[in-house]
Amino acid sequence: MEFPRSSNVTSASAISTVRKIVTPALDCVHRPFFRYNTRMNDPLVIAGRSFRSRLIVGTGKYKSFQETARALEASGADMVTVAVRRVNLDRSKESLLDYIDSKKYFLLPNTAGCYTADEAIRAARLGREVGLSDWVKLEVIGDQATLYPDVQATLEATRVLVSEGFTVLPYTSDDIVFAKRLIDAGAAAVMPLGAPIGSGMGIQNQAHIRILREMITGVPLIVDAGVGTASDAAIAMELGADAVLMNTGIANAQDPVLMAEAMHHGVLAGRQAYLAGRMPKKLYATASSPLEGVVR
């Protein structure tokens, strides 16, 4: 465009003229994208409590507490897990808890490192006694090499903790039979592994996750463990998981803060794809443009 070559035209008036012409055009371009990139009005609800984010993030394995805080911020998570047995609870010296704003994040104590039901129950009670929460991510390990859960001990601990007023989110196998037993025992969610803890192998049991999704509708289904990158998170959500919990996939990335942001987008994309419904898979090609009406 050209401006009049008048000495009375100031730079301010020129800028004003440009804005009048360009701003509407920019609005047409940017408004739709701004609309779709905002948070979805699709909260995760656990035990009656709503969370905006469907990404739950662990707080272990980072290089520093400062890096942990930056990664949490980048992830957009509302809920973060804290290992009761691995964090300084008396605050006598620098603690991870000094870097987690309890007004911003919902703290979910976990019983990582427990190998018996009794150990896990004591850890959950300790977390509540020091004021962390009466919610608990219940983890009872049955095998040291694979870190697979001891499902029977997990069931026993769930029954006890629910009877004591805890909101229990148990880490478990992808066995639908035990999943149903955990729900009957009062579990507020079912959290099957997608692959061994810390393996980063991605979702290795997609058929089992699909079965769990079809048969579990009364409580959230949260994939816990095995996610190594954002595409793994997206796959878990596309399979119908209500949320994904991860730690190592972010903390052990070369750039944990950037990976945390990527995981945020992966979970969001997977959830949107699940709600949108993917097209059916076909063996043969189908033309994208219809052949009817083609000029010959």
pLDDT tens string 48-74: 999 999 999 999 999 999 999 999 999
Contact 230, 47 (CB under 8 A): no
| d(C-alpha 64, C-alpha 153), whole Å | 33
| d(C-alpha 159, C-alpha 162), whole Å | 5
Question: Which pLDDT score, from 0 to 100, does residue 41 have?
Answer: 72
Annotated active-site residue 20? The verdict is no
pLDDT, mean over the chain:
87
How distant is the alpha carbon of residue 208 from its chain centre?
A: 19
Question: Which pLDDT score, from 0 to 100, does residue 258 have?
Answer: 97
Question: Which pLDDT score, from 0 to 100, does residue 6 have?
Answer: 43
**Length, in residues, of the chain:** 296
Question: Which pLDDT score, from 0 to 100, does residue 30 have?
Answer: 41
Question: Which pLDDT score, from 0 to 100, does residue 40 have?
Answer: 58
DSSP annotation of 105: S
Contact 248, 61 (CB under 8 A): yes
Specify the higher pLDDT residue, 288 or 154.
Answer: 154
Max CA distance (Å), the chain? 86
| d(C-alpha 24, C-alpha 32), whole Å | 13
DSSP strand pairing (167-172 vs 191-192): parallel
Active-site option among 103, 137, 180, 282: 137
Question: Which pLDDT score, from 0 to 100, does residue 16 have?
Answer: 54
Residue 36 in this model has a pLDDT that exceeds 50 = no
Contact 63, 81 (CB under 8 A): no
Q: Please choose, from the candidates 78, 86, 126, the residue with its C-alpha nearest in 3D space to the C-alpha of residue 102.
A: 78
- Name 214's Cβ contacts closer than 8 Å, sequence gap at least 6: 240
Q: Residue 42's CB: how many other CB atoms inside 10 A? A: 11
Token pair for residue 208?
């089992």
Token pair for residue 46?
């656990």
Dihedral of CA atoms 162, 168, 174, 176 in degrees, nearest 10, equals: 40
Contact 105, 59 (CB under 8 A): no
| d(C-alpha 185, C-alpha 220), whole Å | 15
Q: Residue type at 139?
A: E
Question: Which pLDDT score, from 0 to 100, does residue 102 have?
Answer: 87
Return the percentage of the chain with pLDDT > 70, whole number: 83
Q: Residue 204's CB: how many other CB atoms inside 10 A? A: 15
DSSP strand pairing (79-83 vs 106-110): parallel
DSSP string computed for 166-180? -EEEEEE-S-HHHHH
Q: What is the pLDDT of residues 154-189, one digit of tens each?
A: 999 999 999 999 999 999 999 999 999 999 999 999
